Amino acid sequence: MIIQCQNVQKYHGAQLVLNSITFDIRQGEKIGLIGRNGCGKTTLFHLLNGEERPDQGQISIRKGSVVGMLAQIQEVNEKETVYEVLQRSFAEQLQWQQRLRELELEMSTFNTGTDETLWNRLLKEYGSLQDKFETAGGYEIESTIQRVSTGLGIGTGQYSRLFSSLSGGEKTKVGLAELLLRRPDVLLLDEPTNHLDMNAIEWLEQYLQSYDGTVLAISHDRYFLDAVVKKVIEIEDGEAFTFHTNYSGYQVEKETRLLQQFADYQEQQKKIKQMQESIKRLIEFGNRGTPPNPAFYRRAASMQKALDRMVKVKRPILERKSMDLQLQQNDRSGNQVVILEDIGKAYGERSLFTDANEVLRYGETTALIGGNGAGKSTLLRIILGQETPDTGSCTLGSRTVVGYLAQEAVPDNNKQSVLRYFREEAGLEEGEARGQLARFLFYGADVFKDITNLSGGEWTRLRFAVLMHRKPNLLILDEPTNHLDIDSREALEEALEEFSGTVLAVSHDRYFINRLFHKLWSIESGRFGVFNGNYEYYKEKQAEQALTLATPVSIPNQPKPSSSEGTTSRSSKPQSNGSVNGTTANSTSFRKRSIHFDWEKAIAEVEDQLGEIDAKMLDPLISSNAAELAELQKERDTVQEQLDEFYAGWMETAGQ
């Protein structure tokens, strides 16, 4: 057991947020924490992280366990670069490294004939510190940082940027990388997939699956929950309910529990009604006697005590209120809704995409996918007429009425209430406006909240309320599920399924894409592509294409597979300078095509080479020789390039 919560209560002012939270977490468990927005999930994280204390109950964390949580606002020095933030996780090792360099400098100028005792002391300190540095992975700091940052989509070009100059999403991504590099005993992740593209999400899933610590993740990404967690804790009505399964299993078990609880509730209500009627009759019988018979009163009192002691089964809510989104169109558009003709767009020397040719037809649901920064939002702005393409043209079809949901996490600071904002956007009287807002879960005093104080989920619901009122026939949605809880996502999915118009959406929510969209537009490596099918079919075809393009290679020093393994003979590559395992390290074609190559083994071998070179460079006899140091540095740069290439190849094949 690493964490135990017993009857935890927490108030925010006069509002009871967490009522009776009880659960246990064991070492190494991967847990999904789910629940509606505002149910207290983040509050529970702050309690587990020690930032807040419970008003009642007890939270026990195993002594010596390190808890790491991704902070919503990263606290850094204004002059700190991205790479310096990533290096925080290795602060102690870097201090040792600095001391080693100081000792090397001192020993390189030391005259051994003057004080042998001091020389021996320096050698002893140096040897001890070097052992500690090596054991703690000091020689792998750079490669470890590169592996994690590459996996999360943080390019080396960002390393020198000031952290304070990053966007909110970029800061969160760097903060997540820093937390993963720290490798705490307990990882608290609050919506870790919100600012990641699909490749980064899949990398994070693989990383967490093999993570030897405990993971507790708040997430509304149903694919992510299925891939990572083996236990689900749901916060509902201030209580915690545990399910020992992934998200798909939770859905089945939750429904079974609710139906059983409702049956138990109905059965108990029958029993309570019978007991109440029996008590009433006993009192009537006692009153009929002259004088009244006290035996009937005693039996009635005894039965009443039994009724009072009975543990009441709570009436389950079989269907909770969710966003009531009903999308309609005033008039249908023509058959051709969006026409892209040879569209290209670049910023400076960086080309986002070229030769985008496609026709979006009436009634189609199309998802636009690609990595962060690939140009998806730019293409949407071109379609909306907000940006001009460098080449080609974009035309909207006849009678097309566009409804656009931009990727905005925070509303403009214009000091408007929810009610006033909605009335101005929709042009409604107050009574009708309040009725419409109630359909989007804005009740009572909620309508008077300042829109600048809304959460991401509330702001998205409010914009959907405006969008529904405008009744467009073409919906263009940029990350519509971001910040929405699972219930609201399902309400959106149901509304889009019933919508008869055309939908074009940018999303990284794989469940959302797979359920609704039957055509995919992709922007990858500066190229625009079209694929007919849903996300699962798209991934299958990608894998088949990768297998077709793969060129089998032989890997020396590897045991030959037996015929029972169904492998084919492999042709060998000529070994040359800058190669590992007979494979040319800087061969891009090899990296792209060889999915059978043992990347992890090759990476480990190159990292060992780097370690050996670093050890030589720290040798006092060599460190004092500038020529030898220069040669070693040149050799190290070559091996580092090999390592970079192998990491890139590993990432590409992992994403296929």
381's tokens: 């702005």
Task: Provide the strand spans (E) within 284-364.
Answer: 336-347, 350-361
Q: 285 and 225 in one domain? A: no
Q: 40 and 59 in one domain? A: yes
CA distance 186 to 207: 14
- Residue 374: CATH number of its domain: 3.40.50.300
Assess if residue 329 is contained within a domain.
no
Q: What is the total count of domains within the chain?
A: 5
User: For the chain, what is the mean pLDDT?
Assistant: 81
Assess if residue 25 is contained within a domain.
yes
What is the structure's pLDDT at 383? 92
pLDDT of residue 554 exceeding 80, the answer is: no
Identify which has the larger pLDDT, 457 or 549: 457
Assess if residue 415 is contained within a domain.
no
CA distance 314 to 653: 51
Mean pLDDT, residues 197-221 taken together: 89
DSSP 8-state code for residue 348: T
Q: 375 and 468 in one domain? A: yes
Q: 258 and 234 in one domain? A: no
Contact 347, 174 (CB under 8 A): no
Asked which of 204, 223, 244 is the last residue of a domain, the reply is 244
Mean pLDDT, residues 86-100 taken together: 84
Report the DSSP pairing between strands 527-532 and 519-524: antiparallel
Q: 487 and 391 in one domain? A: yes
Residues 6+ apart with CB under 8 A from 443: none
Report the DSSP pairing between strands 579-580 and 502-506: unpaired
pLDDT of residue 52 exceeding 90, the answer is: no
Residues 6+ apart with CB under 8 A from 327: 467, 468, 475, 495, 496, 498, 499, 501
pLDDT of residue 487 exceeding 80, the answer is: yes
pLDDT of residue 261 exceeding 60, the answer is: yes
Assess if residue 405 is contained within a domain.
yes
Identify which has the larger pLDDT, 309 or 619: 309
Element (H, E) at 442: none
Q: Mean pLDDT highest for which of 145-149, 228-232, 568-572?
A: 228-232
Asked which of 533, 556, 585 is the last residue of a domain, the reply is 533
What is the structure's pLDDT at 32? 93
pLDDT of residue 622 exceeding 70, the answer is: no
What does the pLDDT look like over 6-35, one tens digit per residue?
999 888 888 888 888 899 999 999 999 998
Assess if residue 434 is contained within a domain.
no
Element (H, E) at 60: strand 56-61
What is the structure's pLDDT at 72? 55
Q: 289 and 233 in one domain? A: no
pLDDT band at 476 (very low <50, low <70, confident <90, very high): very high
Percent of the chain with pLDDT over 90: 14
What is the structure's pLDDT at 574? 36
Q: Which domain holds residue 362?
A: 336-410+454-533
Q: 529 and 478 in one domain? A: yes
CA distance 540 to 535: 9
- Tell if the pTM clears 0.75, that is, is over it: no
CA distance 174 to 73: 12
CA distance 544 to 293: 87
What does the pLDDT look like over 124-164, one tens digit per residue?
888 888 888 888 777 888 888 888 888 888 888 888 888 88
What is the structure's pLDDT at 571? 34
DSSP 8-state code for residue 589: H
517 φψ region: left (φ > 0), alpha (ψ -120 to 50), beta (else): beta
pLDDT of residue 555 exceeding 60, the answer is: no
430's tokens: 């107050």
Assess if residue 511 is contained within a domain.
yes
CA distance 465 to 469: 6
pLDDT band at 630 (very low <50, low <70, confident <90, very high): low
Element (H, E) at 570: none
Q: 500 and 381 in one domain? A: yes
Q: 391 and 480 in one domain? A: yes
Q: Mean pLDDT highest for which of 151-160, 613-622, 634-643?
A: 151-160
3-state secondary structure of 365: strand
Asked which of 494, 518, 533 is the last residue of a domain, the reply is 533
What is the structure's pLDDT at 149? 87
Residue ranges of alpha helices (H) inside 368-472 are 376-384, 418-426, 430-438, 456-470
pLDDT of residue 625 exceeding 90, the answer is: no
pLDDT band at 224 (very low <50, low <70, confident <90, very high): very high
Mean pLDDT, residues 411-425 taken together: 79
Measured from the Cβ of residue 581, the count of other Cβ atoms closer than 10 Å reads 19
Cis-peptide, bond into residue 184, ω within 30° of zero: no
pLDDT band at 113 (very low <50, low <70, confident <90, very high): low
Q: 400 and 340 in one domain? A: yes
What is the structure's pLDDT at 242? 92
pLDDT of residue 575 exceeding 70, the answer is: no
CA distance 554 to 572: 5
Assess if residue 41 is contained within a domain.
yes
DSSP 8-state code for residue 19: E
C-alpha to C-alpha distances, 83 to 89, 96, 107, 156, 229, nearest whole angstrom: 11, 18, 30, 9, 30
Assess if residue 362 is contained within a domain.
yes
**How many C-alpha atoms does 245 have within 13 Å on its Cβ side?**
10
Identify which has the larger pLDDT, 597 or 228: 228
Q: 458 and 373 in one domain? A: yes
What does the pLDDT look like over 301-332, one tens digit per residue?
898 998 888 888 888 877 777 888 888 888 88
DSSP 8-state code for residue 81: B
**Phi and psi (nearest 5°) for 289?**
-70, 155
What is the structure's pLDDT at 174? 87
pLDDT band at 409 (very low <50, low <70, confident <90, very high): low
Q: 516 and 472 in one domain? A: yes
